[in-house]
Structure 1
Amino acid sequence: MDCGCTNCTCDEKEIITSSCPECGSTGNLIPEKAVKANLNKEFYSSIDNKDIYLCPDENCKTSYYSKDYSLKFDLSDLKRPLWYKINSDPVIACYCNNITEEQVVDAVKKHDLKTWQDIVLHYQEKTLCICKKLNPSGECCTDFFYSIINKTLLTLDREPVSIPGGCTC
């Protein structure tokens, strides 16, 4: 069953890239619906029918940009912080369910929860998985989410869990 996430083996796609106008890092093309879900509303009309890319550099203050560099958005132009950027507060582990890194750590330490589903259901009534739309990268959070779980388990001198292949949501 297709979960809706872009890193599932059932949804292979070509990666299209462009260099960030600010730092020169190579960013990936992002689905328009993911950009609109994360960009402040006043910018929606400016991105219609434009290819928009995400800067992957953790130190760069640019979030999204167009290939022709006619558009460049800063971190302050976003509704929520990008999880991988320096000084992001909060660090969001799952955009679909609005789960932060702090909540994942707490769920592992205090409640011995070790899966995406168990942790999300600890905080929400149901799980949502629409990463193509809600994650700023348009990709699934599985790898990052489980890296937080495993980093926390290691601080507790416990065995890390296996990261499921593909998307867990």
Structure 2
Amino acid sequence: MCKEPTQEVKNITVKHFVLDNISTKVHDGNYRICLNKDCDVVYYDTVANEIFKKKDIKIPIWYKKDANPKYICYCNQVTEEQIISAVLKDGAKDMKDIIKFTGAKKNGKCEINNPLGKCCSPIIQETIDKALNMMK
């Protein structure tokens, strides 16, 4: 559907992210999350023929084009900009430093707060690496 890789996401995650007025449309099965940054589809299920687009979602999806704010840690609302700033301005070098400077990963309920339904650690690390490369 999205011409890019997708990942399975539990319906509890989808229920948390869709607008309240359409949350009853979320069925009991699992969904796929579209990882194509240019696609308007966020969650879908081909069996139930259910599609939720960016306009149906409460919180911007960080990797989608034009996401604002661009959250990396949804549980603590830590943005890409904050992580990059912690590296460039505060001297953060690793995950431990990012947690200290930004508060990321402090209140983890990733299954419902992260659009992927899992821990944000890999995305935080990618953002740290991106910032460190900016320093070169």
Q: Same fold (TM over 0.5)?
A: yes
Is the 1:51–1:67 contact (alpha carbons within 8 Å) kept by the matching residues of 2?
Answer: no
Partner residue of 2:112? Answer: 133
Shift of 1:117: 4.3
Find runs of 4+ consecutive structure 1 residues off by over 6 angstroms: none
CA deviation map 1:91-120 (0-9, x unaligned): 211111110000111111111123334324
RMSD (Å) for aligned C-alpha atoms: 2.1
Partner residue of 1:46? Answer: 25
Q: Secondary structure at the match of 1:111?
A: coil
Instruction: Confirm or deny that 1:150 pairs with 2:132.
Output: no
Match of 1:66 among 45, 62, 83: 45
Alignment of 1:4-43 (within 5 A): 20=1, 23-43=2-22
* TM-score, L = length of structure 1: 0.71
Structure 1 unaligned residues grouped into runs of 5+: 1-19, 158-169
Aligned residues: 136
Is the 1:33–1:132 contact (alpha carbons within 8 Å) kept by the matching residues of 2?
Answer: yes
* TM-score, L = length of structure 2: 0.86
Alignment of 1:85-164 (within 5 A): 85-124=64-103, 127-157=106-136
The residue type paired with residue 146 of structure 1 is Q
The residue type paired with residue 103 of structure 1 is Q
- The structure with the largest alpha-carbon Rg is 1
Shift of 1:79: 1.2
The residue type paired with residue 66 of structure 1 is D
Q: Distance between the aligned counterparts of 2:97 and 2:76, measured in 1?
A: 12
The residue type paired with residue 64 of structure 1 is Y
The residue type paired with residue 107 of structure 2 is L
Shift of 1:82: 1.3
Structure 2 unaligned residues grouped into runs of 5+: none
Identity over the aligned pairs, expressed in percent? 29
Alignment of 1:72-83 (within 5 A): 72-83=51-62
Shift of 1:28: 2.3
